[in-house]
């Protein structure tokens, strides 16, 4: 049982995995639970993510929750105020400054829940996610199902020929693959 003298401690939780693995769905679930417990929440996403909505975080199955789009993670520190739980979606699109921002928010006693791709379309660690995983109190790697063989999928295979690191898209641009099917598909690229 918690007493009034119990200190609130912040923490960082990371939800990572491939495209179509349920990262945003899990983020929304955790945030709705916090709101149900009468905790004040704030959700952020990168301004570059406009796939479904400019002002909502939206999962592939169209669950949504209102958010604040921010270009620079440092803006989150200004908005956080008396918020208890902070959600950050599509974190791979932010630069490394997100790591310091997440640390600062957690040090202020906030629960910081971060969702993002852990690997890019080449199967390489993506953006600040690996560093966030290292400093997090909790990391959950979620998996999609490989569209080729039905095994657990950890890779986001890009179907287009673009070599740009960031290409927004859905099932028309990406497919989830297991390690073996990903390696076979990369040979054909």
Strand, helix or coil for residue 179: helix
Q: How many CA atoms lie within 13 A of 144 on its CB side?
A: 27
> What band does 3 get if pLDDT is binned at 50, 70 and 90?
very low
Locate 79 and state its tokens.
Answer: 């908005």
Higher-pLDDT residue of 39, 6? 39
| Catalytic residue list contains 104 | no
Residue 1 has pLDDT above 70, yes or no: no
Q: Which one of 13, 42, 90, 175 is the catalytic residue?
A: 90
> Which residue has tokens 């049982």?
1
**Most confident stretch, 3-17, 35-49, 168-182:** 35-49
pLDDT at 169: 65
Residue 141 Cα distances to 38, 82, 116, angstroms: 27, 29, 10
C-alpha to C-alpha distance for 154 and 3, rounded to whole angstroms: 42
**Residue range 163-172: mean pLDDT, rounded:** 74
Homologous superfamily of the 11-143 domain (CATH): P-loop containing nucleotide triphosphate hydrolases (3.40.50.300)
Q: What percent of the chain has pLDDT over 90?
A: 73
For residue 32, is it left (φ>0), alpha (ψ between -120 and 50) or beta? alpha
- DSSP classification of residue 6: P
> What band does 7 get if pLDDT is binned at 50, 70 and 90?
low
Strand, helix or coil for residue 135: helix
C-alpha to C-alpha distance for 47 and 68, rounded to whole angstroms: 9
Q: Is 15 exposed, middle or buried (0-12, 13-18, 19+ CB in 10 A)?
A: buried
Strands 56-58 and 64-66: antiparallel
């Amino acid at each position: 049982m918690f007493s009034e003298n119990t200190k609130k401690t912040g923490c960082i939780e990371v939800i990572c995995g491939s495209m179509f693995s349920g990262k945003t769905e899990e983020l929304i679930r955790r945030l709705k639970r916090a709101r149900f417990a009468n905790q004040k929440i704030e959700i952020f996403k990168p301004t570059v993510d406009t796939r479904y909505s400019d002002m909502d975080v939206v999962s592939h199955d169209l669950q949504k929750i209102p958010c604040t789009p921010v270009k620079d993670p440092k803006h989150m520190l200004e908005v956080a105020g008396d918020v208890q739980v902070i959600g950050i979606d599509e974190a791979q699109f932010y630069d490394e400054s997100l790591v310091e921002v997440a640390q600062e928010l957690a040090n202020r006693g906030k629960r910081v829940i971060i969702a993002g791709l852990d690997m890019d379309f080449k199967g390489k660690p993506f953006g600040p996610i690996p560093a966030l995983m290292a400093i997090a109190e909790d990391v959950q790697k979620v998996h999609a199902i490989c569209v080729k063989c039905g095994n657990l999928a950890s890779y986001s295979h890009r179907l287009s020929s673009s070599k740009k690191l960031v290409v927004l898209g859905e099932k028309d641009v990406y497919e989830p693959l297991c390690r073996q099917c990903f390696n076979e598909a990369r040979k054909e690229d």
